[in-house]
Amino acid sequence: MKKQHLMPLIYSAILATGILFGIYIAKSNGITATPKSSDNFYINDIFSLIDKEYVDTININELQNKAITHILESMDPHSEYIKPDVLDDVNDNLHGSFHGIGVSFRIEKDTIAIINTIKGGPSEKVGILAGDRIIYVGDTLVAGTKVTNKDAMRLLKGPKKTKVDVKIKRRGVEELLDFTIVRDVIPTHSIDVAYMIDDNIGFIKMTKFSATTHKEFVEAVKKLKAEGMTQLILDLRDNTGGYFDQSWKLANEFLGRGQLVVYMQGRNRPRDEFDADGRGKLQDIELSVLINEGSASSSEIFAGAIQDNDRGVIIGRRSFGKGLVQEPVNFTDGSGIRLTVARFYTPSGRCIQKPYDKNYDYDIYERYAHGEMTSADSMKIDTTSVYYTLKGRHVYGGGGIIPDIFVPIDTTKATDFYVKCNRKATSVRFAQTMFDKYRGALASINDFAVLDTYLDGIDLASQFLDYAARIDGIKPEKGEWEKSAEYMMPQLKALVGRFSKLGDEAFHRYYIPIDDTIQSALKNSSVID
């Protein structure tokens, strides 16, 4: 019987996480040096024996963790043990909120550089500004100490209502500035941007499937429909997935009552089907879905449902191929596991999961090496695994979702100058410099046309070429900049424009003209005939 409601969180499909076998370790009742059979050694007994009799002092908990990790890794790529200090971060990323100071940052030259503050958040309230550098967190020096993102998160996150003292270096101010920030609930968003590309076409970029994804999506769609949206481009490129129930809810917005979204099945898990309930508000909206090799898990569930039901067109490159169902189990010590218990299948019967042999970790690299990223003819398709959509179109299994329209990576734009700048992240660092220089003006711009005029007026091209030569020693050869500029200038505008009030919207607007996948979506009908 098909289910109209979702199962609990146990069916969340989380990319590259997992945890469980330790459950059995926790049940140790004593030791014996003699196994009951030649094929069945009691792991608990072995650990107990080591703990009591081993010649040297040993951390038995650490040893158990290593054993659990190795056992799970040997079964499949996504069953995994997660230590207590990591599990909270994994969950925070998907729960829709966490406790912290309310900033986005990046590590720049061994320093925590604030990209922006969250509106209404703790840092904004005390006067911290985008472009500030954190020098001290409490008594800990974090500048010039090879601080990592993990280090910064550990120092800045903390329980609600707790305080953290920071010392800030601000451009134009000689002395360090002292701030006391009271941590609070900080929302995390799964939708980067939602705006109208033209009078009819809306664009939504979704980065993950968190606990709040469907709610965010409904709010974004309501806004876009009010602005005249009749077609939608949903960008799931590099969306690594998340909670399964959110992908079902998203597909449910587009599909008719009784249409199958996905089913799951495992050795000890009977086939479990999930249908649309017919209450979706977007059943008449034309839909294009963008995917690539970084689209995984819940992204693939959604794309597979849309494709197999002939509800929209899938554009881009073959998706990652992560279709294993993890059941989360949390332990009293704060650790946990994600144990693979089943596989996801698209409505036509395709298994989303790609084979996990010895080359699993190198699959994406091999796609590049074999030419799959640049040529559809080089794509490895298992032609023996043929399936049929609702309208009878051929689709193929073998792992991942193969798009209806293939869009290759364009390598012709990569001049030597561009490649050298990419390797040193010259453009990114230049953008930060421009923000420091023009912070006052950028912070006040919330209109795209005004922003574009302003960026043209400060001659970004000349400033970038000077920066690349002076800081990184990179100069274009004769005629090389003219060839590179067509592709690089929109990128530079996007990186600098992100520091305006428009934020990520400015970034994506500048990228549209040079984004071949979006351009393909704009040229092709989103309705499958």
Q: What is the dihedral of CA 225, 230, 235, 239, to 10 degrees?
A: 60
From 187, 215, 240, give the residue that closes a domain: 187
Residue tagged 């038995």 (tokens): 60
| CATH code of 395's domain | 3.90.226.10
Residue 221 located in a structural domain: yes
Angle at alpha carbon of residue 297, lines to 221 and 84, rounded to 5°:
105
State whether 274 and 356 are in the same domain.
yes
Same domain, 404 and 317: yes
Residues 201 and 268 in one domain: yes
Q: Same domain, yes or no, for 177 and 252?
A: no
**Letter for the amino acid at 345?**
Y
Residues 244 and 378 in one domain: yes
384 and 438 in a single domain? The answer is: no
**Could you tell me if residue 16 is inside a domain?**
no
Q: What is the pTM of this model?
A: 0.80
Q: How many whole angstroms separate alpha carbon 32 and alpha carbon 189?
A: 52
Identify whether residues 164 and 310 lie together within a single domain: no
| pLDDT tens column, 410-449 | 888 889 999 999 888 899 889 988 988 998 899 899 999 9
Alpha helices, DSSP H, located in 187-232: 213-226
Crossing angle between the packed helical segments 426-442 and 460-472, to the nearest 10 degrees: 130
Question: How many domains would you assign to the chain?
Answer: 3
Q: Which of 63, 94, 66, 69 is nearest to 81 (CA)?
A: 69
β-pairing verdict for 269-275 and 260-266: antiparallel
Same domain, 365 and 481: no
Q: Are residues 244 and 343 in the same domain?
A: yes
- The residue count for the chain: 529
The answer to whether 398 touches 367, Cβ cutoff 8 Å, is no
Q: Which parts of 197-276 are beta strand (E)?
A: 201-206, 231-235, 260-266, 269-275
Please name which of 64, 183, 42 lies closest in space to residue 126, comparing C-alpha atoms. Answer: 183
CATH classification at residue 142: 2.30.42.10
Is 522 domain-assigned?
Answer: no
Measured distance CA(426)–CA(433) in Å, rounded: 11
Within this chain, do residues 218 and 350 fall inside the same structural domain, yes or no?
yes
Residue 61: Cβ within 10 Å count: 13
Residue 45 lies in a domain: no
Find the helix packing angle between 480-497 and 426-442, rounded to 10°: 50
Q: Is residue 456 part of a domain?
A: yes
Residue ending a domain, among 164, 187, 210, is: 187
Q: What is the spatial distance between Cα 85 and Cα 327, in angstroms, rounded to a whole number?
A: 20
The helix or strand, by DSSP H or E, that contains position 131, with its residue range, turns out to be none
169 strand-pairing partners = 133
Q: Determine the Cα–Cα distance for residues 134 and 113; give it in Å rounded to an integer.
A: 7
Can you list the residues of the chain whose pLDDT is less than 70? 1-41, 85-98, 120, 358, 527-529
Of 379, 406, 395, give the one whose Cα is nearest residue 517. 406
The rounded distance, in Å, linking the Cα atoms of 297 and 315 is 17
- Residue 105, C-beta contacts closer than 8 angstroms, at least 6 positions apart: 112, 113, 114, 115, 134, 152
- Distance in angstroms (rounded) separating the CA atoms of residues 115 and 106: 7
Backbone angles phi, psi at 327, to 5 degrees: -100, 115
| The predicted structure's pLDDT at residue 31 | 31
Tokens of 477: 């050869």
The answer as to whether 270 is a domain residue is: yes
- Render the burial of 180-205: b for 16+ CB within 10 Å, e for the rest: ebebbebebbbbebbbebeeebbbbb
The boundaries of the domain holding residue 182 are 98-187
pLDDT of residue 109: 74
Same domain, 305 and 450: no
Domain membership flag for residue 53: no
Q: Does any domain span residue 21?
A: no
C-alpha gyration radius of the chain: 26
End-of-domain residue from the set 409, 438, 472: 409
Nearest to 283 by CA among 255, 246, 261: 255
Kindly state whether residues 183 and 249 are assigned to the same domain. Answer: no
Please tell me the distance from the alpha carbon of residue 388 to that of residue 397, in angstroms, as a whole number: 10
Give 301: exposed, middle or buried? Use CB within 10 Å, 0-12, 13-18, 19+.
buried
Q: Which two tokens stand for residue 394?
A: 């051929």
pLDDT at 24: 21
